[in-house]
Chain A
């Protein structure tokens, strides 16, 4: 009739989280008989009567509305094929790429070429995880210069921080523009020293993501490197 784990405990698949019917199985958990079990490696989260697990690793699951970063891998009649470094291909249709009218015979590679990166938004995900993208929102664009780094997509919320506090801190201390894609690709652009420091800071957050007081730690880290 109780929980066996507490908030922020690290659990592994198959760990018993609670017994009895007082709790409800939330994300990444399952019930069998009287017990609720963990289904992934992660941290326990107990908001009220629902038990959830926040994964510490694992694949990106595409969701409508997510802002992602991807690389154009091919050009088709109707638009661009984009690699999000997941198991699934994404398409950017011509009509979702720009509000401008694009003539039928226009060379699409002049607009976005193969191997170029874009910041885009997911506008549709099918049951088979096929993904449609759009560039028709402010801030969505083809990117150039700077560097792309990859982190585990499950660590993205920590890199962004509460109300964007962490990413704002890194931007301020390194002078970089930073865009974090929900799929785990991050784009940085600034001075070469600034980019390097921002990359090291983000990798550090990825590694220490489950620790308490991370914002304060990162503040000290960044100040120590910018004096």
Chain B
């Protein structure tokens, strides 16, 4: 059995329907909402502001600090107990690493730029949606950036390389691999790369090639969201 027809009828390189908006949280310095399928990330940027605790300050440049949280009712099963867990801490760390290469905080020594991402509902691909939302929110906040970062998962479901896996595909019987990828727009440089599952080298390279086109689609939507905010006003 080879996975030929996707569970929701999409073609292999097709992403789920997406929607993005910039400037959704008036209190924040920058913010964004990013939906892909039934996964929804809301990001808010606060700062540059004073960094607490003080021992985390860096006198040479500002520090980027990401926070990732699934709302208690956002999982597909039972309620999730609120608060930090190992998963959310790891995702916050890889998010920071995915965005740091494009963010230039050299003008803000000792300060911090906080990015908070909250998910009201999820269906796989949450860290990718979080990064895509965060990148819009950072640009909306006027933070100096060399480039945008766009993120989407690719992977392999029972022998077929596909883009943007949903939960039912991650849980598909057979060999599955889920590869969250984040890329810069201009250089197509990879700033996030993780994988769960099994894949051959050839399929992995094929998946990364597919990620170029997939992240480009995310990028086009990020541009649209930012330009819409500042033209509609």
Q: A interface vs B, CB < 8 Å?
A: 10, 12-14, 16, 28, 30, 37, 39-42, 55-59, 61, 86-89, 127-129, 154, 207-208, 210
Contact = CB atoms under 8 A, between A and B. Distances in A.
Contact of A14 (B48, B107, B109, B184): B184
Question: Which residue, of A13, A58, A61, A128, has the highest number of chain B Cβ atoms within 10 A?
Answer: A13
Interface residues of B, number: 36
Contact of B30 (A57, A61, A129, A154): A57
Contacts of A87: 47-50, 62, 108, 110-112
Contact of B142 (A55, A86, A208): A55
Contact of B231 (A10, A13, A40): A10
B110 A30 contact: no
B189 to A, nearest CB: 12
A64 B9 CA distance: 61
26 contacts: A10-B230, A13-B102, A14-B146, A14-B184, A16-B186, A28-B144, A37-B146, A39-B146, A40-B144, A41-B139, A41-B230, A42-B142, A56-B142, A56-B230, A58-B141, A87-B47, A87-B50, A87-B112, A89-B50, A127-B109, A128-B109, A128-B110, A129-B108, A129-B109, A207-B233, A210-B230
Report the 9 A-B pairs with minimum CB-CB distance, sorted nearest first.
A58-B142, A14-B147, A13-B145, A87-B111, A57-B142, A87-B48, A41-B139, A87-B49, A207-B233
A13 B30 CA distance: 14
B24 interface: no
A10 to B, nearest CB: 5
A24 B230 CA distance: 26
Contacts of A129: 108-111
Interface of B: 29-30, 47-50, 59, 62, 102, 104, 107-112, 139-148, 184-186, 222-223, 226-227, 230-231, 233
Contacts of B223: 12
Contacts of A42: 142
Nearest to A11: B227
A208 B233 contact: yes
Given A39-B104, A128-B59, A12 B227 contact: yes
Nearest to A60: B48
Contact of B226 (A12, A86, A210): A12
Contacts of A40: 139, 142-145
Nearest to B135: A13
Nearest to A129: B109
A41 B226 CA distance: 8
Contact of B148 (A13, A86, A207, A208): A13
